């Protein structure tokens, strides 16, 4: 706490610089049998909150490490928080314990942390359960559904579909009104639902952003104060599911063009993906906070 005081910020910088200058490691493999064959993978920060919607902050922070087995008792580690994507080299100095092979401080050492040692802990099935660093920054095995790159792509995909669909819905409504004024009518199955779905999705996205921004501006507030946002998400999600039913039925309708069916299929896929993401990142589970 003292080192966070503005008057002591220079002192903190000097301490970190001195510690970085003293960073010295020249480890070599010292174990007769290697234990690296099952260590490759991505591990995410164990310090992240996983019980409520704040788990979505992980998508922004991306605090993880990628481990690669070199097959000779050595591993390569790449911290995701390093903007330069620097690769760190480790040697196994004890069973499942690794030490840095060079003395170049990583971004963690330069910021006051440490990534000089890694200790891999296995579960009862022999799979990696946790990676300890010897300080407050530990890492957990990342399951596929928590993969940050995949989930970021999924969120971006859903966002683009919702924005595109909302713009298309607005244009469609304007054109329909012009046709009505001209005395012409056109029947399109599930027309209202197709226009409504992306708009609802966009509203939920906006509500999610507002939820995070509210929390960031009032981090000392009880987490229950944000329940209303999750209730709104749940209500709108139910609306999306109900609106999806006529769209699914329209696939059997011969009056619906092939191009519209393709768009509807993409839209339904985006909705399903979006709901799964909301469940995974606890944006629907209002009863848990």
Residue 217 corresponds to which tokens in the numbers above?
A: 């501006």
Q: Report the range out of 27-36, 53-62, 153-162, 221-230 with the highest average pLDDT.
A: 153-162
CA distance 227 to 55: 15
Contact 205, 162 (CB under 8 A): yes
11 pLDDT band, cuts 50/70/90, is very low
Residue ranges of alpha helices (H) inside the chain are 9-21, 57-61, 107-110, 148-181, 191-217, 227-250, 258-280
CA angle, 80 as apex, 74 and 82 as ends, to 5°? 95
At 177-225, the pLDDT tens digits run: 887 777 666 667 788 899 999 999 999 999 999 999 998 888 888 888 9
Number of neighbouring beta carbons within 10 Å of residue 41 = 16
Q: What is the pLDDT of residue 185?
A: 64
CA distance 63 to 65: 7
Closest CA to 58 of 155, 125, 132: 155
For residue 16, pLDDT over 70 is answered with no
CA distance 75 to 80: 16
Torsions phi, psi for 204 (to 5 deg): -65, -45
Question: 163: exposed, middle or buried (C-beta count within 10 Å: 0-12, 13-18, 19+)?
Answer: middle
At 233-266, the pLDDT tens digits run: 999 999 999 999 999 998 988 888 889 899 999 9
Contact 75, 62 (CB under 8 A): no
Residue 145 neighbours by CB under 8 Å, 6+ apart: 151, 280
According to DSSP, the β-strands at 97-100 and 128-132 are: unpaired
CA distance 19 to 114: 10
3-class DSSP assignment, residue 2: helix
CA distance 126 to 119: 14
Helices (H) and strands (E) in the chain, counts: 7, 8
Indicate the fold that domain 23-145 takes in CATH: Lipocalin (2.40.128)
CATH 2.40.128 residue ranges in the chain? Answer: 23-145
Lowest mean pLDDT among 4-13, 88-97, 161-170, 250-259: 4-13
The per-residue pLDDT of the chain, averaged, comes to 83
Q: What is the pTM of this model?
A: 0.76
Residue 108 neighbours by CB under 8 Å, 6+ apart: 79, 81, 114, 115, 137
Question: 37: exposed, middle or buried (C-beta count within 10 Å: 0-12, 13-18, 19+)?
Answer: exposed
Q: Virtual CA dihedral for 195, 196, 202, 208, nearest 10 degrees?
A: -170
At 105-154, the pLDDT tens digits run: 776 666 666 788 899 998 888 888 899 987 777 888 877 787 888 888 99
């Amino acid at each position: 706490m003292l080192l966070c005081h503005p008057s002591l910020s220079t002192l903190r910088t000097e301490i970190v610089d001195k510690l970085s200058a003293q960073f010295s490691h020249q480890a070599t493999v010292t174990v007769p049998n290697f234990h690296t064959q099952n260590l490759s993978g991505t591990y995410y920060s164990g310090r992240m909150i996983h019980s409520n919607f704040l788990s979505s902050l992980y998508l922004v922070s991306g605090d993880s490490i990628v481990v690669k087995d070199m097959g000779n008792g050595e591993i390569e580690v790449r911290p995701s928080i390093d903007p330069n994507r620097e690769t760190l080299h480790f040697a196994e100095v004890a069973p499942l314990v690794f030490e840095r092979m060079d003395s170049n401080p990583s971004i963690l050492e330069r910021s006051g942390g440490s990534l000089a040692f890694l200790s891999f802990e296995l579960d009862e099935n022999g799979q990696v359960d946790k990676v300890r660093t010897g300080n407050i920054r530990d890492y957990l095995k990342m399951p596929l559904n928590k993969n940050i790159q995949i989930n970021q792509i999924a969120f971006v995909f859903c966002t683009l579909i919702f924005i595109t669909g909302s713009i298309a819905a607005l244009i469609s409504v304007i054109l329909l009104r012009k046709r009505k004024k001209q005395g012409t009518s056109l029947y399109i199955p599930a027309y209202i639902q197709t226009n409504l779905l992306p708009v609802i999705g966009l509203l939920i996205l906006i509500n999610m952003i507002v939820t995070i921004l509210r929390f960031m501006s009032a981090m000392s507030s009880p987490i229950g104060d944000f329940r209303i946002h999750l209730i709104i998400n749940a209500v709108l999600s139910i609306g999306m599911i109900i609106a999806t039913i006529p769209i699914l039925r329209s696939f059997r309708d011969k009056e619906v063009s092939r191009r519209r069916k393709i768009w509807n299929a993409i839209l339904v896929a985006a909705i399903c993906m979006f709901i799964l993401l909301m469940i995974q990142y606890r944006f629907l589970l209002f009863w848990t906070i």
